[in-house]
Amino acid sequence: MHTFTIGANDAGQRADKFLLKACPKLPKSLLYKTFRKKDVKLGGKRIPPETFLQAGDELTVYLPDEFFAAAPKPQRIAALPLPEIVYEDDNIALMKKPVDLPVHADDKGSADTLAGRFLYYLAKSGAYDPANEQSFSPALCNRLDRNTEGFVIGAKNAAALRSMNALIRENRVIKQYLCITAGIPPKQNDTVTAYHRRIEGKSAEIAETPREGFREIVTEYELLQKHDDLALLLITLHTGRTHQIRAQMAALRCPLLGDSRYGFAKVNRRYAETHQLLAACLLRFDVPAEGHLFSALHGKAFAYTPDFVRRYGFSI
C-alpha cells in the first residue's frame, strides 16, 4: 500500500486523475478496479474515483509497492533562452512568443519550446522544483502556431491553471490579433459565423453552412487600413479553433500575407514573406476587482505593435 499527502498543487482535482499522474506505472484498468474493490481510501474512508482532493488529505491506495515507483524526475531542467516576460505575479507569467518558436514540441523535433523556456525560467528563479511535485508541472494556458507571434499565458501553479483555463472557456480572456492580408476583405467590419473542421496533419476546412464533423466558429474583423492589395486587420476571436484566423481569412479570399499553407504563393514570393504576418498582440481579462484569483489583472490591458505593421507602411 502507499499513502499520498496531497499538496497545494495536487488539490482541486479528482482522485483518479491525481493517481494516474502520480503513478505512471499503474495501469488505468487496474486503478479503476481498485476503486471498485474499495481499496482507495481518503482519511480511512472508501471513496469513488470522482472525489475531489483537498490540500492536506491523506490518500491511501492498497496495491503492491511496485505500482508506486514514480517516473524518473529530471535532476536539472535543460538550460534554454529565457522567455520575454511582459507581466508576472505569483500565479501567472505573460510571455511574448517570437516567430519560429513552437509552444510545445512539434513534428520538427525542436528541443527549444516556449513551454521549456517557461519551466527553465521558473526553475532558475526558484519558483519551481520538479522534485517537490507529485502530479503538477507549470503549463501554458493558450497556444499559438510556430510562426505566429504574440502573448502566451503560463500558469505557475495548479489553481492558476484551472482558473485561467476556466476564464478562457468562458470567453473572459479577450484575445485580439493584428494581421496583414493579401487582398481586401469584403466589408469594413464584420462578424463571420462559419463551420470548421481540421483533421490532424491537414489544412483546416471552412464551410458556410453546418456540416457533419464541422464545429461553429465566430471570427470578427475590422479593416484598419489598406493600400495597394494589402490590408491591416484587427481580428477578435469569439471561438478558438486550430488555424481559425488563417483558414477563415483565406475563405474570404484575403489570406494572410506570407501564409504558406492557406495563402497566395505568388503574392508571398513577390513580398518575400515566408510565414504568416499574424500577431496575438492585444490581451485583456474580464475579472472582478476583488475576490478572484486574478483580481490583480482587473483593468489591465496588454498590447504591442508588431514590427510588420510599420514595415508595410501602416500605423496604429
Residues 30 and 114 in one domain: no
Q: Do 180 and 244 lie in a common domain?
A: yes
Looking at the fold, whether 161 and 136 belong to one and the same domain comes out as: yes
270 domain-assigned: yes
Residues 165 and 215 in one domain: no
Q: Are residues 202 and 277 in the same domain?
A: yes
Give pLDDT, residue 210: 95
Q: Are residues 180 and 273 in the same domain?
A: yes
Residues 115 and 30 in one domain: no
Q: What count of residues does the chain have?
A: 316
Last residue of a domain, one of 34, 68, 102: 68
111-128 pLDDT, tens digit per residue, is: 899 999 999 999 999 999
How many domains does the chain fold into?
3
- The predicted-structure confidence for 25-47, as pLDDT tens digits, reads as follows 889 999 999 999 999 999 999 99
Q: What percent of the chain has pLDDT over 90?
A: 83
Structural domain contains residue 299: no
Kindly state the average pLDDT of the residues 189-210: 93
Task: Note whether 197 and 272 are same-domain residues.
Answer: yes
Domain boundary residue, one of 103, 137, 170: 170
Please tell me whether residues 226 and 275 are part of one structural domain: yes
Cβ contacts of 11 within 8 Å, gap of 6 or more: 53, 54, 55, 57, 158, 159
Residue 302 belongs to some domain of the structure: no
Mean of the per-residue pLDDT values for the chain?
93
Same domain, 220 and 181: yes
Q: How far apart are the first and last CA of the chain?
A: 63
- Interval 287-304: pLDDT, tens: 999 999 999 999 899 999
**Same domain flag for 163 and 183:** no
* Count of CB atoms situated within 10 Å of the CB of 251: 19
Do 99 and 138 belong together in one domain?
Answer: yes
Is 311 within a domain?
A: no
* Higher local confidence (pLDDT), 153 or 132: 153
The CATH number of the domain holding residue 31 is 3.10.290.10
312 part of a folded domain: no
Is residue 202 one of the residues assigned to a domain? yes
Domain that holds residue 121: 73-170
**pLDDT tier at 17, thresholds 50, 70, 90:** very high
Residue 315 lies in a domain: no
Q: Which residues of 74-85 are buried (b: 16+ CB within 10 A; e: fewer)?
A: eeebeebeebee
Q: What is the DSSP string of 186-207?
A: SSSEEEEEEEEE--TTS--EEE
Instruction: Report yes or no on 35 lying in a domain.
Output: yes
Domain boundary among 155, 170, 185: 170
pLDDT for the residue numbered 135: 85
Which CATH number do you get for residue 149?
Answer: 3.30.2350.10
Q: What is the DSSP string of 221-232?
A: EEEEEEETTEEE
Confidence check: pLDDT of 219 > 70: yes
Reduced to 3 states (helix: H, G, I; strand: E, B; else coil), residue 268 is helix
